[in-house]
Structure 1
Amino acid sequence: MKWIRLPVIAAGMCAAAMACATQQVDVEIDAARPGPVINRNVYGQFVEHLGTGVYGGLWVGPESPIPNTRGWRDDAVGALKALHVPVVRWPGGCFADDYAWRDGIGPRDRRPVKINANWGGVKETNAVGTHEFFDLVDQLGTAAYVNGNVGTGSAREIAEWIEYMTADGQSSLARLRARNGHPAPFKVAFFGLGNESWGCGGNMTARHYTDLYNHDATFVRTTPDAMPALIAAGGLDGDVAWTDYLSRHIRANASAISLHYYTVPGRGGKTKGAATGFGEDQWISALKDALHMDDLIAANVARLDETDPGKKYTIAVDEWGTWYDPTPGTNPRFLQQQNSLRDALVAALHFHIFHAHAARVSMANIAQMVNVLQAMILTDGDRMVLTPTYHVFRMYVPFQDATALPVKVAGDPQYRFGATAIPAVSVSAARGKDGKLHLGLVNADPHDAVDVAVQVAGAQAVAAQGSVLTASTMDAHNTFAAPDAVLPAPLRASADHGKLVVRLPAKSVAVLAIDE
């Protein structure tokens, strides 16, 4: 949000990088062959009752001295609005399959206090429930993705929650909703049945969960105009077998099958790896692990192409992001971690993967919005800081509902460290709703800049302008003491006879609008 003092710093970085750039990557964008629309919901968010993700991070209560609107802190909501958040998933996660929705309605001082057994055994006051969540949705101007309880709940509880949220004034539950302060129905855009049913959601088999899904989804009933799109819970790390079984045996209404996958640089080791202070081995390990998302989606898409050629089902990647060892000194079950430049690159690589699979990927929800895992925002009391991941989400706003364009990349060098190698440059292009041609670029190499030579088939590039995010170190991050350590800086390029050359600094993300 602050764009004042970084341009000189970033320009210095680019100048320094120019001396060591030796590689040119050729990119051709085919503007004459538009592909599928990139669903804006792939830029979705996720907030769970976990650590300070809700309480303190977003919700402080109406009586708090921290400036707030009906309990939601103004600084966090204001920052998130700049991201044009398309959809928010709530209340979980693992928490969803323990959540009793009736505990979260009525006067807050009369709501039962429970224990959050999933996340640290701490007190859950139920101060944030259905009405508070939809108030947050309204303040953000976003869509609601509510996750229902299949693990410890029942079909009746799910049916009554749907009725409470969406029914008109003739229903007794609608009248209860009115007495609790909201006469008009809430708009539930998406409703998920269960979460990680293979694990914390009940340790189920695909067959057992599918039977439960068919049973519970049958009772999700409301008026046609209020009916949410239903999402089935998929398997572990994109388990294709779950996708296969679900897509063959779902008989009830469903629109998407979920997929969860987290980037873990220490995958397979005793620890997940540190969020900061890591070496280059952890840098490349994280980026390689992030790129595995492409393999997972491709495998699930291939299976759906066999079992669901009519494309009844899409894929909702409703949990993704980096997962490191918790910040030392914090409650390890709060999953709080610092957020560095590495996380920004991981996010941008995911965006490019989602764009490439836009025909099937209809939603993605990063975990999580505030203070948990790969967060947009970190808070401490009345202090707030925006993370590098936040800035990348803001840079990519023009890709929401844009039309993907085919891209050919030639001469992409391999970035290597030890025995590990990944493509150095990642590219994505799309025609935005504003009619402009938008280009996303990632340089994974932490040492060398790259010249990206761009040509547009079917159009004539004249110039490009946008922003670039980089920093002097791989683990550069923003803190409460230094909130502007990692900020986007302006980036411009001019074309020569339709050929646009963009100097892409080492370890950077850039988003440009191309003038034609």
Structure 2
Amino acid sequence: MTASARAIIDLDVTGHHISRHLYGHFAEHLGRCIYDGFWVGEDSTIPNERGIRLDIVEALRALDIPNLRWPGGCFADTYHWRDGIGPRESRPRIANTNWGDVVENNHFGTHEFMDLCDLLGADAYVNGNVGSGTVQEMAEWVEYLTRGDDSPMAQLRRENGRDEPWLVPFWGLGNEAWGCGGNMSAAHYAEEARRYATFCHNHGENRLVRIAAGAHEDDLEWTRVLMKTLMECHGCTLWGSLPYQAVSFHYYSHSGSGANTEEAASFSDAQYYETMAHVADIDRVIRGHIAVMDSYDPHNRVGLVCDEWGTWWSAEEGTNPGFLFQQNTVRDALVAGLHFDIFHRHARRLTMANIAQTVNVLQAMILTDGEQMVLTPTYHVFEMNKGHQDAQQLVAHLLEGPVRGVRGEDLPLVSMSASTKDGKALLSLTHLSADVDCELSIDLRGRGAALTRARVLTGESTTDFNDTDRPGRVAPRPLEARLEGGTLTVTLPPHSFATIELTLA
């Protein structure tokens, strides 16, 4: 049995710019993301540069990773940056009470993180401490990182081995202030965010995008209070800028019974489709936040950031439940593909997104086991989709296609998005049916095109994953596609993600 779908893409009609920062990443001091992930130490037998694991760096550079968020997450609001500078043997040990209640030795701190960003070629997104920190502490961290003269913090940085300041484009004003970041009300946090942002100065050539800690999923009231408080800033007219330039929200996906309650690699078809319905609902959530923001900011001065997204399953058996280590299957790959289609549609206001997390935690790109490293199915979606970074949307319409009823709603089983850059076009196709092929016919209009490459990512089942025994079980493979007379035809296997690259005339 084969389903069918029809679509139109206008190759000569472009939409909004798709920021490369929609493909951002997140590394928290959580489980084995930093230690036994990015950081192995300079004495490790695993190839490293100044303690940073090089095979991970190489793999992430292949994704054109645009930015990396650090040190949290919930950890950010217990982190005091001075604990992580200076000689490593002299750095104080602290308790990581959020994640596993383990002792943190602070060997990976500010200099190590910025070194990692340099190796990756990624912009730094530093998340400051509002929950248990002070305004002065955060202001001095910004100065330490970005000021170039002989100020006290710049001099301290030089004493610790770094002469020139770094560029730090993105700065988080706390994290999840409604929960682990302080259990604050929206009104209280909005005033705090405005106050903290005021003292996070631009030093030298560095220009901060200050990001206020935003809502849990569809808490539109939180966004409304943030925007109202921001736009009522009486000093902003005098100084000519807003205290913060973006607001965030977080959205984790599961099949409906709640995060951290379901197995990652053992699930029913019903759970699979319920997961996809939950993922698809982020479109409604984003539209809601954008509508609130548009009412206060019709000129689009403030960006929307989804700086934590991805699946959250129960920790794998035999691992520390506080380390959030989970397997990564074909289902997770399709979750990523569907997210990106939705993110592209909202690129006017949505300026950044960060998957949680990069290594060994939640919906990771990479899993490590000693010296061995495995690229997950989600990693391959990021690689196949990297051509959308800093491209222009193309107008794409899915005219008809298969649907499935999930909890009383119709879930479209085919999703797509397209973009153009440098005389080429990239089409992304996510096919959610667990067991039926779909023949998709796309009418390409407005410009001539030649088929360059087509690839598909799938497995024998939605539960397939990569491990050290079979690291290539789920990996991109060539996909047969036909382009005749302006019509592109492709048959998508069940539970598959595909990309098609075109050269435009």
| Same fold by TM-score greater than 0.5 | yes
Match of 2:436 in 1: 448
Match of 1:320 in 2: 309
CA contact (8 A) 2:194 2:244 kept: no
Residue 280, structure 1, aligned to residue 260, structure 2: no
1:419 Cα offset (Å): 5.6
Residue 159, structure 1, aligned to residue 105, structure 2: no
Residue 364, structure 1, aligned to residue 344, structure 2: no
Selected match of 1:400 from 363, 381, 389? 389
1:515 Cα offset (Å): 3.5
Deviations 1:440-474 (A, max 9, x none): 00100011111111112211344352210011111
Aligned-partner Cα distance in 2 for 1:238–1:124: 34
Residue 218, structure 1, aligned to residue 206, structure 2: no
Write the mapping of 1:428-439 to structure 2, written as runs, cut at 5 A. Answer: 428-432=417-421, 434-439=422-427
CA contact (8 A) 1:266 1:273 kept: no
Match of 1:474 in 2: 462
CA contact (8 A) 1:455 1:461 kept: no
1:417 Cα offset (Å): 6.4
Amino acid at match of 1:160: E
Aligned-partner Cα distance in 1 for 2:51–2:65: 19
Match of 2:58 in 1: 78
CA contact (8 A) 1:447 1:506 kept: yes
Selected match of 2:496 from 508, 511, 515? 508
Match of 1:207 in 2: 187
Match of 1:258 in 2: 248
1:224 Cα offset (Å): 5.3
Selected match of 2:14 from 34, 37, 40? 34
Residue 49, structure 1, aligned to residue 29, structure 2: yes
Amino acid at match of 2:257: R
1:266 Cα offset (Å): 3.8
Write the mapping of 1:230-379 to structure 2, written as runs, cut at 5 A. Answer: 230-250=210-230, 251=233, 252-268=242-258, 272-379=261-368
SS state of the match for residue 226, structure 1?
Answer: coil
Aligned-partner Cα distance in 1 for 2:198–2:453: 51
Match of 1:183 in 2: 163
Amino acid at match of 2:247: I
Residue 168, structure 1, aligned to residue 148, structure 2: yes
Aligned-partner Cα distance in 1 for 2:378–2:389: 16
1:179 Cα offset (Å): 1.4
1:415 Cα offset (Å): 2.9
Aligned-partner Cα distance in 1 for 2:13–2:55: 42
Match of 1:411 in 2: 400
SS state of the match for residue 157, structure 1?
Answer: helix
1:268 Cα offset (Å): 4.7
Match of 1:457 in 2: 445
CA contact (8 A) 1:341 1:477 kept: yes
CA contact (8 A) 2:256 2:278 kept: no
Deviations 1:139-173 (A, max 9, x none): 00010000000000000000110111111131121
Deviations 1:64-103 (A, max 9, x none): 1111110011111111110100000000000000000000
CA contact (8 A) 1:315 1:362 kept: yes
Aligned-partner Cα distance in 1 for 2:401–2:308: 30
For the aligned residue pairs, the C-alpha RMSD in angstroms reads: 1.4
Aligned-partner Cα distance in 2 for 1:348–1:444: 10
Aligned-partner Cα distance in 2 for 1:204–1:197: 6
CA contact (8 A) 1:466 1:512 kept: yes
Amino acid at match of 1:104: G
Give aligned-pair identity as a percent: 46
Deviations 1:453-504 (A, max 9, x none): 1112211344352210011111000011111110100124222211110111
Aligned-partner Cα distance in 1 for 2:304–2:440: 32
Aligned-partner Cα distance in 1 for 2:257–2:281: 12
Amino acid at match of 1:409: L
SS state of the match for residue 34, structure 1?
Answer: strand
Q: Which has the higher strand share?
A: 2
CA contact (8 A) 2:22 2:353 kept: yes
Aligned-partner Cα distance in 1 for 2:53–2:166: 22
Deviations 1:390-429 (A, max 9, x none): 0110000100011001111112111346866410100101
SS state of the match for residue 155, structure 2?
Answer: helix
Aligned length in residues: 494
SS state of the match for residue 195, structure 1?
Answer: coil
1:30 Cα offset (Å): 1.3
1:238 Cα offset (Å): 3.5
Match of 2:478 in 1: 490
1:267 Cα offset (Å): 2.9
Aligned-partner Cα distance in 2 for 1:238–1:108: 42
SS state of the match for residue 145, structure 1?
Answer: strand
Amino acid at match of 1:438: L
Aligned-partner Cα distance in 2 for 1:154–1:257: 20
CA contact (8 A) 2:454 2:481 kept: no
Aligned-partner Cα distance in 1 for 2:445–2:30: 48
1:281 Cα offset (Å): 1.0
Residue 100, structure 1, aligned to residue 80, structure 2: yes
CA contact (8 A) 2:148 2:204 kept: no
Aligned-partner Cα distance in 2 for 1:317–1:171: 35
CA contact (8 A) 1:462 1:498 kept: no
Would the alpha carbon gap of residues 462 and 435 (structure 1) be closer, same or farther in structure 2, given more than 3 Å must change?
Answer: closer
Selected match of 1:425 from 399, 406, 414? 414
SS state of the match for residue 217, structure 2?
Answer: helix
CA contact (8 A) 1:273 1:282 kept: no
Deviations 1:251-288 (A, max 9, x none): 3521110010000114359x631101211011101111
Aligned-partner Cα distance in 2 for 1:335–1:503: 36
CA contact (8 A) 1:452 1:502 kept: yes
Residue 139, structure 1, aligned to residue 127, structure 2: no
CA contact (8 A) 2:255 2:274 kept: yes
SS state of the match for residue 346, structure 1?
Answer: helix
Aligned-partner Cα distance in 2 for 1:150–1:365: 20
CA contact (8 A) 1:105 1:129 kept: yes
CA contact (8 A) 1:169 1:183 kept: no
